[in-house]
Structure 1
Amino acid sequence: MFRKSMLASCLALSCLLAVPAMTFAFNPSSNLPVNVDDKGIALRGYDPISYFSGKPAQGDSDYKFSYEGGTYYFVSKANLEKFKSNPAQYAPRFGGFCAQAVAKEKKVDSDPLSYKIVDGYLFLTAKSAYKDWTVNVDGYVKQAYVRWPDIKNVPPKGL
């Protein structure tokens, strides 16, 4: 009994000690136009080119490129070069923030697996917003394009 209690206590303590070392997926204080974590990584490390094949994949830090203040990772040199040739085409719209939230003048963290390619561009949403967003994609996208210039460089916590 004592052994199980001690093991549980050690496990709980190790989890608490690990928290400061964790990378947060979203930086609410950042005034960048790109949704980055506390280390400046965009798309939680997913390769933006991979979305266009329908299979989002984690990139590799050996292949990286900074665009609009966020660092993007890629699965290969070929994907990196493709992105560099036209980053405005391949980077997620609205900096990778939830497109539905941007339509409502907010900057909310997105889920890298809640996405849709619309007119050749990558749009992300929060997981909880995806179903509602897909009911009116065109309306939300149109409204987000109107609101984005006003909030682009405002920290999420300031909205």
Structure 2
Amino acid sequence: MTARRQEGNGLRLAAVAIALLGCGLAGARLDLAARAATSERIVADRYTGLAIGGFDPVAFFTDGRAVQGDPAFEVSQGGAVWRFSNPDNRAFFIANPDVYSPRFGGYDPVDIARGVTFAGTARLWLIVGHRLYLFGHEDTRAAFAADPARYLHDATRRWAVLKETLAQ
């Protein structure tokens, strides 16, 4: 075999190795996407277990704004870790988790009304009828604010079925 042909074979082997490596990385990326798509009944960070990004759910009601919780004041409830900005808020939550936790597990109610789950964020929120709602997009929050009764009717009906498809 000539030196030129040997070089060509080496290049082909390198190309095959790079292609196999690329396939392995693509498979890893697909696996990561599949794990990220796993849905829970309460929106929580899959690495830390923190609900609503570690924000204090009671502070939305008491302070009227999103307040980052303190790791010194946390509680595990419903398969998620909830953080609070002070011990009183922690106590309020423990006494009434259904009142202070976001409705629909923290999923965007407009998307729930459409029959899909999309995680809300603590940065986009509203309190309507003494309940906290989180939204995934500014436009869904605006639509909900314009006609909450419409979305709540459909979301409540669909949530009963959707939550059964989510992991506990």
Normalised TM-score (structure 2): 0.72
The CA RMSD over aligned residues, in Å, is 1.8
Identical-pair percentage? 27
Q: Which amino acid aligns with 1:111?
A: T
Pairing 1:36–2:44 present: yes
Question: Which structure is richer in relative contact order (CA contacts within 8 A, separation 6 or more)?
Answer: 1
Distance 2:37 2:166 in 1: 6
Structure 2 distance, partners of 1:120, 1:95, is: 15
Whole-Å separation in 1 of the counterparts to 2:37 and 2:125: 21
Once the two structures are superposed, residues 60-116 of structure 1 have per-residue CA deviations (whole angstroms, 9 ceiling, x without a partner) of 111111222111100011110010011011110000111111111111021212111
Q: Decide which of 147, 153, 158 is 1:136's aligned counterpart.
A: 147
**Matches of 2:122 and 2:44, distance apart in 1:** 12
Looking at secondary structure, tell me which structure has more helix per residue: 2
Q: Does 1:149 align with 2:157?
A: no
Which one has the largest radius of gyration? 2
Q: Deviations over 1:32-69 (max 9, x none)?
A: 21011112111011000000031210001111112221
Deviation at 1:28, TM superposition (A): 2.4
**For the residues of structure 2 that align with 1:122 and 1:130, how far apart are their CA atoms?**
12
Q: Aligned equivalents of 2:125 and 2:153: distance in 1?
A: 16
Q: Hey, what's the Cα distance between the residues in 1 that align with 2:125 and 2:55? A: 12
Aligned with 2:58: secondary structure?
Answer: helix
Displacement of 1:155:
4.4
Which of structure 1's runs of 4+ aligned residues deviate more than 2 A?
Answer: 153-156
Aligned residues: 130
Hey, what does 2:27 align to over in structure 1?
Answer: none
Is contact 1:28–1:155 with CA below 8 Å preserved after alignment? Answer: no
Distance 1:67 1:148 in 2: 20
Residue type of the alignment partner of 1:82:
F
Task: Pick from 104, 121, 129 the counterpart of residue 119 of structure 1.
Answer: 129
Match of 2:120 among 74, 97, 110: 110
SS in 2 for 1:152: helix
One of 51, 59, 63 as aligned partner of 2:73:
63
TM-score, structure 1 length as denominator? Answer: 0.76
